[in-house]
Structure 1
Amino acid sequence: MEFEALWRELLLRSRATLQMFDPDFAVFPLGASDVDALLRRFLHEGGLLKLALHRPALIERDYPRFVRLLKDYNHRIECRATPRNLQQLTDSFCIGDRVHIVRRFHCDHMRGEAAFGTAGAADLSQERFDALWAESAPTLHPTTTGL
Structure 2
Amino acid sequence: MDEAGAYPFASHQEFGVHLRACIERSVASLHMFDPDFSVFPLGASEVDALLRAFLKTGGHLRIAMHQTAHIERNCPRFLRLLEDYSHRIECRVTGRKLQQLTDSFCIGDEVNIVRRFHSDHMRGEAAFKMPQSAEISAERFRGIWAESLPGLHATTTGL
TM-score scaled by length of structure 1: 0.99
User: 1:12 — aligned with what?
Assistant: 24
The partner residue of 2:66 within 54, 57, 79 is 54
Q: Return structure 1 stretches of 4+ with deviation > 3 angstroms.
A: none
Match of 1:92 among 80, 97, 104: 104
Residues 102-131 of structure 1 deviation map (CA, whole Å, 9 limit, x = unaligned): 000000101111100112110000011000
Q: Which has the higher contact order (CA 8 A, sep 6+)?
A: 2
Q: Per the alignment, in what secondary structure is the counterpart of residue 133 of structure 2?
A: coil
Alignment deviations for residues 14-41 of structure 1 (CA, whole Å, 9 cap, x no partner): 0000000000000000000010000000
Which structure 2 segments of 5+ residues have no match? Answer: 1-12
Task: Map 1:1-147; keep pairs closer than 5 Å.
Answer: 1-147=13-159
- CA–CA distance in structure 1, aligned partners of residues 35 and 43 of structure 2: 16
Matched residue of 1:122: which SS? helix
What letter matches 1:122 in structure 2? A
> What secondary structure sits across from 2:132 in the alignment?
coil
Q: How many angstroms does 1:95 deviate by?
A: 0.2
* AA aligned opposite 2:158: G
Query: TM-score, normalized by length of structure 2?
Result: 0.92
Q: Aligned residues, how many?
A: 147
Letter in 1 for 2:114: V
Identity %, equivalent residues: 67
RMSD of aligned residue pairs (Cα, Å)? 0.5
Q: Where do 5+ consecutive residues of structure 1 fail to align?
A: none
